[in-house]
Amino acid sequence: MTTEESAGRQRQNVIYRDGVFGRRPKVPTDFESLERAAKKKMSAAAWAYVHGGAGSGRTVQANRDAFDRWQIVPRVLRDVSKRDLGVELFGKRLPSPLLLAPVGAAELAGPGADVAIASAAAELGVPYIFSNQGSAPMEESAAAMGDSPRWFQLYWSTEDDLVDSLLERAENMGADAVVVTLDTTMLGWRPEDLNLGSLPFAQGKGIAQYTSDPVFMRIVRERIAAALPKPDTEVTLGAVRALISMTSRFPGRFLDNLRSPEPRAAVETFLDIYSRPSLGWADLESVRERTSLPVLLKGVLHPDDARRAVDIGMNGIVVSNHGGRQVDGGVSSLDALNDIAPAVKGAVPIVLDSGIRGGADVFKALALGADAVTLGRPHLYGLALAGGEGVRDVTANVIAEFDLTMGLSGLASVAEITRDALRRA
Ligand SMILES: Cc1cc2nc3c(=O)[nH]c(=O)nc-3n(C[C@H](O)[C@H](O)[C@H](O)COP(=O)(O)O)c2cc1C
């Protein structure tokens, strides 16, 4: 995005012009108001799943506190009339250093979730990383994006055949890269969900990449043939609701599905095989034979792990603590970035994930060595408030604020953002 009329000014103009006609923005332009408004729109279960963190929420808080420990030191009287927010990642020029993070079971936040998010991302040219726990098959989301960039996020299943199948589908639907998420080999302890006894996947939400996969469905049918899993015979209102939820999400006709053991077996199979807690470096080394796509590791927080990832030929690192959803009392991702960047900077691209809420956060992450950042919860809140338009506007707002922050700090391009622009608070 290089324009005289910059991303920031454009967005301001749209909002202020609408204001003249008495129209307010569909999504609040600051994170706190956005979050508050989204909470009002979301069901208790959806709010718990999206907002919740691990344990007492200390890592969620740490992600924010870390940003507050750095301050931007603007410089004046530099020509910033033309600014370039663009970056290059894996051979593609992107309009800004922002990607949309993979979010599973996004349908909790709004109908048509993945496809709506994908279309919104495509409108802005922002890459969307499709979650392995998406609510739509990756091919459907890709179809909504035209030629716009998309990546695929993989959870490494206990079944290697399934891993290969998902990777092949990612290549076929035009993914530019694969992100292997390493920090969720088990689900973290999430009291907001636990207190409601609510897990979206158990209702058949967020398993569309699986039920659309031929290898996964082969495994499901083999398990049914072997009389697994054993049916639970207790019939409660909740169990009936869950059955309807699973059945309505399963591919095919609802009435046929209602008579079939497959929807329920698919959920059980998913819960059994989606992730491999024994995953080790040797598995990751094998990824090179499994796909020709660039591979990034997501969930790296220690410089030694980052170095090792580079040593075994990984193409990038996503410094992330999964938005504080996995380990309570964990290191913030920004602090981890500060340790990791010197260890691998220049060797491979580094993406900072977890805690990005506005343009100043993007700026600080880049100054501390990230090449790009991902936007997570905020885009889901946009979805909850105004569907695809909400996702688009939340994302455009962050890019606009980043543009203005960069320009007002006296810098005209992303490459000029260095550590010199920051001081410790
Ligand atoms: C509702 C929700 C679902 C998520 N699902 C996934 C997922 O399927 N795969 C994944 O790698 N990360 C997933 N994440 C983590 C995000 O990719 C990202 O790391 C996180 O949202 C960053 O934290 P932030 O949103 O607080 O900035 C999920 C996060 C949320 C909030």
What single string gives the DSSP state of each residue in 200-249? GGGGTTT-HHHHT-HHHHHHHHHHHHTT-SPPP----HHHHHHHHHHHHH
In a domain, 131, yes or no: yes
Average pLDDT over residues 415-425: 98
In a domain, 39, yes or no: yes
Instruction: Count CA atoms closer than 13 A to 21's CA, side-chain side.
Output: 7
Q: Which residues pair with 374 in a beta bridge?
A: 99
Question: pLDDT tens-digit profile of 28-57?
Answer: 999 999 999 999 999 999 999 999 999 999
What is the chain's Cα-based Rg?
21
Angle of the 262-273 helix axis to the 237-249 helix axis, nearest 10: 90
Percent of the chain topping pLDDT 90: 93
d(CA 118, CA 151) in angstroms, rounded, equals 11
- pLDDT of residue 2 exceeding 50, the answer is no
Average pLDDT over residues 384-412: 98
Average pLDDT over residues 372-377: 98
Tokens, residue 115: 């496809």
- pLDDT of residue 4 exceeding 60, the answer is no
Average pLDDT over residues 294-308: 98
d(CA 111, CA 224) in angstroms, rounded, equals 31
Q: What pLDDT, on a 0 to 100 scale, did the predictor assign at position 345?
A: 83
> Locate tokens 């006609």: which residue?
21
Q: Report CA(173)–ligand 1 centroid distance (Å).
A: 22
- pLDDT of residue 413 exceeding 50, the answer is yes
> Locate tokens 């700090």: which residue?
409
Q: Which residues pair with 297 in a beta bridge?
A: 180, 317
In a domain, 154, yes or no: no
- pLDDT of residue 75 exceeding 90, the answer is yes
Q: Provide the residue range defining the domain that includes 21.
A: 2-149+176-192+292-424
CATH number of the domain residue 54 falls in:
3.20.20.70
Point out the ligand 1 atom lying closest to the alpha carbon of residue 109.
Answer: 1
Q: Report CA(216)–ligand 1 centroid distance (Å).
A: 23
Question: Of 6 and 307, which is predicted with more confidence?
Answer: 307
Question: pLDDT tens-digit profile of 180-193?
Answer: 999 999 999 999 99
Q: Is 302 helix (H, G, I), strand (E, B) or coil?
A: coil
The total number of structural domains in the chain stands at: 1
131 lines ligand 1 (CB under 6 A): yes
d(CA 404, CA 411) in angstroms, rounded, equals 10
Q: Report CA(72)–ligand 1 centroid distance (Å).
A: 27
Average pLDDT over residues 52-65: 98
Q: Which residues pair with 128 in a beta bridge?
A: 100, 150
50 lines ligand 1 (CB under 6 A): yes
Q: Report CA(102)–ligand 1 centroid distance (Å).
A: 6
> Which one of 322, 351, 361 would you pick to mutate in the ligand 1 pocket, going by the greatest count of ligand atoms within 8 A of its CB?
322
In a domain, 257, yes or no: no
Average pLDDT over residues 237-256: 90
Q: Is 15 helix (H, G, I), strand (E, B) or coil?
A: helix
Q: How far is CA 378 from the centre of its chain?
A: 10
Give the β-pairing of 92-94 and 87-89. Answer: antiparallel
- pLDDT of residue 220 exceeding 80, the answer is yes
Measuring from atom 23 of ligand 1, which residue has the nearest CA?
Answer: 323
102 lines ligand 1 (CB under 6 A): yes
Question: pLDDT tens-digit profile of 16-26?
Answer: 999 999 999 99
Q: What pLDDT, on a 0 to 100 scale, did the predictor assign at position 286?
A: 96
Point out the ligand 1 atom lying closest to the alpha carbon of residue 181.
Answer: 11
Contacts made by residues 291-294, CB under 8 angstroms, sequence distance 24+: 291/167, 291/168, 291/170, 291/171, 291/178, 292/171, 293/167, 293/170, 293/171, 293/175, 293/176, 293/177, 293/178, 294/90, 294/176, 294/177, 294/178
> Which one of 132, 296, 318, 325 would you pick to mutate in the ligand 1 pocket, going by the greatest count of ligand atoms within 8 A of its CB?
325
Q: What pLDDT, on a 0 to 100 scale, did the predictor assign at position 64?
A: 98
353 lines ligand 1 (CB under 6 A): yes
Q: What pLDDT, on a 0 to 100 scale, did the predictor assign at position 415?
A: 97
Q: Which amino acid, residue 119?
A: S
Q: Report CA(104)–ligand 1 centroid distance (Å).
A: 7
Measuring from atom 4 of ligand 1, which residue has the nearest CA?
Answer: 103
In a domain, 305, yes or no: yes
Q: What pLDDT, on a 0 to 100 scale, did the predictor assign at position 193?
A: 98
181 lines ligand 1 (CB under 6 A): yes
Q: Which residues pair with 93 in a beta bridge?
A: 88
d(CA 245, CA 243) in angstroms, rounded, equals 5
- pLDDT of residue 229 exceeding 80, the answer is no
Q: Report CA(73)–ligand 1 centroid distance (Å).
A: 31
221 Cβ partners below 8 Å, 6+ apart? 262
DSSP secondary-structure letter at 413? B
Q: What pLDDT, on a 0 to 100 scale, did the predictor assign at position 3?
A: 46
* pLDDT band per the 50, 70, 90 thresholds, residue 240: confident
Ramachandran assignment for 199, one of left (phi > 0), alpha (psi -120 to 50 degrees), beta (any other): beta
**Neighbour-count burial for 308-328, b at 16+ CB within 10 Å, e otherwise:** bbbeeebbbbbbbbbbbbbbb
Catalytic residues: 322
d(CA 295, CA 94) in angstroms, rounded, equals 18
In a domain, 85, yes or no: yes
Measuring from atom 26 of ligand 1, which residue has the nearest CA?
Answer: 323
Ramachandran assignment for 61, one of left (phi > 0), alpha (psi -120 to 50 degrees), beta (any other): alpha
286 Cβ partners below 8 Å, 6+ apart? none
* pLDDT band per the 50, 70, 90 thresholds, residue 231: low
d(CA 31, CA 275) in angstroms, rounded, equals 32
* pLDDT band per the 50, 70, 90 thresholds, residue 355: very high
Average pLDDT over residues 112-136: 98
Provide the sign of the torsion angle of the four alpha carbons 294, 299, 303, 304, taken in this order. Answer: negative
Q: Report CA(406)–ligand 1 centroid distance (Å).
A: 26
Instruction: Count CA atoms closer than 13 A to 371's CA, side-chain side.
Output: 21
- pLDDT of residue 115 exceeding 50, the answer is yes
In a domain, 265, yes or no: no
Diameter over CA atoms, the chain = 74
d(CA 328, CA 295) in angstroms, rounded, equals 27
Average pLDDT, the chain: 96
Measuring from atom 19 of ligand 1, which residue has the nearest CA?
Answer: 322
In a domain, 253, yes or no: no
Measuring from atom 20 of ligand 1, which residue has the nearest CA?
Answer: 323
150 lines ligand 1 (CB under 6 A): no
CB 411 within 8 A of CB 76: no
